[in-house]
Amino acid sequence: MGSLAEALVERFSFLWIFEGCVPFLRISPVLPGVRGADLKKYVIHGGRPLYGKVDISGAKNAAVGIIPAALLVEGPCRIENIPAISDVDLLLNILRDLGATVRMINRTTVEVDCTGARCMAVPYDAGRKLRASYYLLGAMLGRFGEAEVPLPGGCDFGSRPIDQHLKGFAALGAEVEVEKGYMCAKAQGGRMKGSQIYLDVASVGATMNLMLAAVLAQGTTIIENTAKEPHIVDLANFLNSMGAEITGAGTDVIKIRGVDKLRGGEYSIIPDQIEAGTYMAAVTAAGGEVRVCNVIPKHLECITAKLLEMGAEVEEQGDSLIVRRTGPLQRTNVKTMFYPGFPTDMHPQIAAVLCLARGTSVITEGVWDNRYRYTEEFRRLGAKIQVDGKIAIIEGVEKLTGAPMEACDLRAGAGMIIAGLAAQGTSEISNVKHIERGYEDIIGKLSGIGADIRTVDVPDPERGKVSAVG
């Protein structure tokens, strides 16, 4: 009962799903009627090196594509190594709303049966809360030949058009219109038809969405200039394990032979490249030695290379990396690119490390328009950062000093945590809902490697306005 009481204090809600007489527990990130993570902040007492080991969860960017893909599968589909994050909870709840049976087997395994799913509009409030809701468009078009999905939400760091998605859907025989905040799509003849598609930009989202739409299409689809990220390969492997015929994932040309149906099965999601990179950056910034467990080292080579340039040591041991940093940090230049280049989702985290590096570093953002809102928060700690367009110039300082910060998006929030861990004194981070979209138990994992970080409740300004009941 003690653990349940603690969870309630943390403002989590619990959804009990009964299969026969066996209960399964799922933690939902927002208590109905309460703003959940909006009412929390992280408090960090920085300046402590990190020691120990940390286990990496399943990949967020893979999970948010694979869960919608379950709509294409007839029969029970067991997905293992799912991360316990709010984006995953939202997607699973959307599948329930569409008529799917969702059963939590344990903390990291879910069984989804979409056999009874219905073609209906995705609930507006749920769909608009996350960027990955657009994968439901491709999955529903593939399954039902039509779809109504709210325009996507998620982090705001510049223009993220979905024109390549729409171009591909049109090539596959669908018409898409935007009405009253919804993307409304319908395939001519009720089923998508194979086609040849060239993406003007190697978009990760478009690549995955078109794979979903084409798996059950009539004929063969060839997608050229595709993105190569590990989670694209993971989605292809998931679909193939259920009976799809996809080749070329991880290259710039993907070929999809449409099949009549997908069957149920089991699949385990890959470890999270960005979560692993975040903890590697944290050790590099704060100092110490940490074993980062349950990783695919190949996926991390682009991150490892930069940390080595900055003075960290990285040792590969099977599915683990030992990261240590004892000496001074050195400057380097970073340009974010599509995989296998340095990932844009590691931009704010590496910037936090460079704030303490000797000399002047340059970061060039090669993917998104507006990644730099975090810089205002870093300056509160004493960082010296100047931004000009897509370029940031960082002059390293001897120390950062703790200060209040506000997370403006998922990866910016992770960067602020790293900066707070490396800073002297106390830092507070508000608006942590962004961080909890993509990092499972980040407070527990950091505490486990020696960080002095905790969650505290923020008084609800509306509470005093509500009349007492009972």
The 10s digit of each residue's pLDDT in 224-249 is: 999 999 999 999 999 999 999 999 99
pLDDT given for residue 39 in this prediction:
84
Residue 10 above 50 pLDDT?
no
Q: Identify the weakest region by mean pLDDT among 262-276, 308-322, 369-383.
A: 369-383
Query: In the β-sheet with 262-268, what is the strand arrangement from edge to edge?
Result: 101-106, 109-113, 73-80, 262-268
Sequential DSSP letters for 214-278 = HTTSBSEEEEES----HHHHHHHHHHHHTT-EEE-BTBSEEEEE--S-EEEEEEEPPB-HHHHHH
Q: How confident is the model at residue 132 (pLDDT cuts 50, 70, 90)?
A: confident
Q: How confident is the model at residue 162 (pLDDT cuts 50, 70, 90)?
A: confident
Q: How confident is the model at residue 31 (pLDDT cuts 50, 70, 90)?
A: very low
Q: How confident is the model at residue 371 (pLDDT cuts 50, 70, 90)?
A: confident
What mean pLDDT value characterizes the chain?
Answer: 89
Catalytic residue among 114, 155, 293, 302: 155
Q: Are strands 182-187 and 146-150 parallel, antiparallel or unpaired?
A: antiparallel
Residue 230 CB contacts under 8 Å (≥ 6 apart), including other chains: 59, 62, 270, 273, 296, 299, 339
Decide if 364 contacts 336 (C-beta within 8 A).
Answer: yes
Note the pTM of the prediction, 2 decimals.
0.89
In the Cβ-directed half-sphere of 189, how many Cα atoms lie within 13 Å?
7
pLDDT cut 90: percent of the chain above it? 81
- 293 given a catalytic annotation: no
State whether residue 410 is helix, strand or coil.
Answer: helix
CA distance 234 to 167: 24
Instruction: Count the helix, strand and coil residues of the chain and give each as a percent rounded to the nearest 5.
Output: 35, 30, 35
Q: How confident is the model at residue 467 (pLDDT cuts 50, 70, 90)?
A: very low
Q: What is the mean pLDDT of residues 131-142?
A: 93
**What CATH number was assigned to the domain covering residues 35-57+271-457?**
3.65.10.10
**What CATH number was assigned to the domain covering residues 60-268?**
3.65.10.10
Q: Identify the weakest region by mean pLDDT among 31-40, 50-59, 127-136.
A: 31-40
For the chain, give every domain's residue range.
Answer: 1-34, 35-57+271-457, 60-268
CA distance 369 to 75: 42
pLDDT tens string 75-127: 999 999 999 999 999 999 999 999 999 999 999 999 999 999 999 999 988 88
Phi-psi category of residue 411: left, alpha or beta, with phi > 0 → left and psi -120 to 50 → alpha: alpha
Q: How confident is the model at residue 128 (pLDDT cuts 50, 70, 90)?
A: confident
Sequential DSSP letters for 412-462 = HHHHHHHHHHHSBEEEEEE-THHHHTT-TTHHHHHHHTT-EEEEEEPP-TT
Closest CA to 220 of 165, 172, 174: 172
